[in-house]
Chain A
Amino acid sequence: MIVVKIGGRVVKNSLDKIILDILNINDKVILVHGGGDIVTDYTKRLGIEPVFVTSPEGIRSRYTTKEELEVYIMAMSLINKSITSKLCSLGKNAIGITGVDGGLLLAERKKRIVVIDERGKKRIIEGGYTGKVKEVRSEIINHLVKLFDIIVVSPIALDVEERTPLNIDGDQAAFAISKALRANVLILLSDVEGVLVEGKVINRLTPSEAKELSKKIGPGMNRKLLMAAESVENGVNKVIIGSGVKDRPIINALELNGTVIANG
């Protein structure tokens, strides 16, 4: 079983390449998609100004109000059904779900968050409708893969305590699913060719090297590296960070083009 995460820019600009490539894969695929830019477009079209916050670590995230959560669910569901309908139309046996369905992804809302405010000060504010995955009910995927070849998953999780869906980070959803399934491979596809250091792609990293490098590189990729290291330490065979905009992006990653994080 392989888990593939496609970032928002890949969804927006090269989804057809991903779809065509999946047709050539004989393994079961769990496809987790992002779509932050598309959510932002819809938010603006509906007259809601998106709010972003920056954490003290320098990571910029969407601040999800209740109103924005509704748009988030609508846009993510639209992306999910677009992908699923393309795959089914081409003869693949695919199903599209969110992390809410069957309680696949259980998360906890971040009730308070620390941000760098507009005055540049570190400040605690009320958290929005974003959360952190606490549990993956892997039995749901294990049942579904008996019926379907591809499971398309939107990064929406369920907060049981507050009885609400939550916006969760797509990378985090993919890492959590991979760890729970002890997936053979997790492929993260974005608009970069891998982890870049001084303009060059780093080809291979052990989990400890990935953790070390995460301290020296920019926000976003540092989080991917930390989660990749943790996934390999928890039973995922390898994590590959590669380009989602090249031709044959999944096969290309499976041929180990990009950055591979695996035990030495």
Chain B
Amino acid sequence: MVNLKCPICGGEITVEDDALPGELVEHECGAQLEVVKQNGKLSLRLAEQIGEDWGE
């Protein structure tokens, strides 16, 4: 597990070691966060609101 900081409230949040970029996690402050991987390091950013996929 990796301990990261919520970019919204600064609180701690734990993410699995093998989390993939784009994975969504919810912090207890209510923020929905997206896992980002840069230079092998995991971090979090606020996830944009995305609707569902629409195709035939």
A interface residues with partner B (beta carbon < 8 Å): 8, 34-36, 39, 53, 55-57, 59, 61-64, 72, 76, 110, 112-115, 117, 121-125, 127-128, 130-132, 155, 167-170, 172
Contacts and interface: CB of A to CB of B under 8 A. Distances in A.
B42 interface: no
Interface string B12-52: 00000000101110000000001000000000000110111
Bin chain B's interface residue count.
Answer: 10 to 19
B24 A114 contact: yes
A9 to B, nearest CB: 13
B56 A169 contact: yes
Contacts of B34: 124
A123 B23 contact: yes
B52 A57 contact: yes
B48 A167 contact: no
Given A112-B50, A113-B50, A114-B50, A125 B55 contact: no
Nearest to B32: A122
A125 B34 CA distance: 11
A55 B56 contact: no
A38 to B, nearest CB: 10
B23 A167 contact: no
Contacts of B50: 110, 112-114, 124
23 contacts: A8-B56, A34-B56, A36-B56, A56-B52, A57-B52, A61-B52, A61-B53, A61-B55, A110-B53, A112-B48, A113-B52, A114-B24, A117-B20, A121-B20, A123-B20, A123-B23, A124-B23, A124-B24, A124-B50, A125-B22, A167-B55, A168-B54, A169-B56
Contacts of A36: 56
Contacts of A63: 53, 55
A167 B53 contact: no
Contacts of B53: 53, 55, 59, 61, 63, 110, 113, 115, 127-128, 130
Contact of B52 (A55, A117, A125, A155): A55
Contacts of A170: 56
B56 A122 contact: no
Contacts of B24: 114, 121-124
Contacts of B47: 124
B54 A122 contact: no
Given A124-B34, A124-B47, A110 B54 contact: yes
Contacts of A128: 53, 55
Contacts of A53: 53
Given A113-B50, A124-B47, A62 B23 contact: no
Nearest to A59: B52
- 5 closest A-B pairs by beta carbon, nearest first, are A130-B55, A55-B52, A124-B22, A122-B24, A113-B53
Contacts of A124: 22-24, 34, 47-48, 50
